[in-house]
Amino acid sequence: MSMLQNPILRGFNPDPNIVRVNNDYYIATSTFEWFGGVQIHHSTDLVNWRVIGQALNTVEQLDMRGVPDSCGVWAPQLSYNNGRFYLVYTNVKSFDGPWKDTPNYFVSTTDITGNWSQATYLNSSGFDPSIFHDDDGKSYLLNMLVDHRNNALFGGIVMQELCLKTNKLIGDIKPIFSGTKLGCTEGPHILKRGDYYYLITAEGGTGYEHCISVARAKNVFGPYQVHPHNPVITAAHEPSNTLQKCGHGDFFKRKTVIGTRYF
């Protein structure tokens, strides 16, 4: 049996997001101002990984002209629905001063090793977008809300329905989570298990206090009840821990194949 040893991706691989499709695992990572955008990693055992490409390879998909250092692609998210991969990302144009320029886009493909579609613009209300595909056939876009008032910046998590037939946002924008006392709530992802929707967020800022918090609700729009023992993952106050500043994350069900090296 192969054994996991952290970090499973070494070097510059920030804001990892993982999705499992059948017997394959895929991780997307931020690329900031580097081009092509969004590095995709693949594994069948969670131990051995290889880069299978960059999703954003054209200027139409990722126009970073004039983008300053440390802007560009932030916190991409991969999802899979009805035979198609979806990749949603922010192309941060400016982050100086009280006004932030954070347009969000998505691309899609049926072949994750091939070419992705042209980019579809979604909104500019905040960064760290994600797409949740519910089991009733509806899909939703989530992102943190940039609050420009008094330079507060982090204004909680908002969600809006996304029609995948027209590639357009429909219905009202709804605030679903204001965050916890840890603050700096970003990186929202939703998963559903049983009767509950689980909202996973990054909190605490991107320094050593970075962490993962979880809340749950029986309605996709909430109200969300926070986990009593948040944060569920953090390296804060653990200076000897191999992993530090860990805040963006997901939960997924691993495959179990008896009699093989998979676990």
Torsion, Cα of 212, 140, 132, 243 (10° steps): -20
The residues carrying an active-site annotation are 15, 186
Q: State the DSSP string of 75-134.
A: EEEEEEETTEEEEEEEEE-B-SSS--B--EEEEEES-TTSPPPPPEEEE-S-S--EEEE-
Whether the ω angle into residue 103 lies within 30 degrees of 0, i.e. cis, is: no
233 burial type by CB count under 10 A (0-12 exposed, 13-18 middle, 19+ buried): middle
Task: Report the distance separating Cα 147 and Cα 99, nearest Å.
Answer: 9
Task: Report the distance separating Cα 239 and Cα 261, nearest Å.
Answer: 33
Whether the ω angle into residue 231 lies within 30 degrees of 0, i.e. cis, is: yes
SS3 sequence, 189-226?
EEEEECCEEEEEEEECCCCCCCEEEEEEECCCCCCCEE
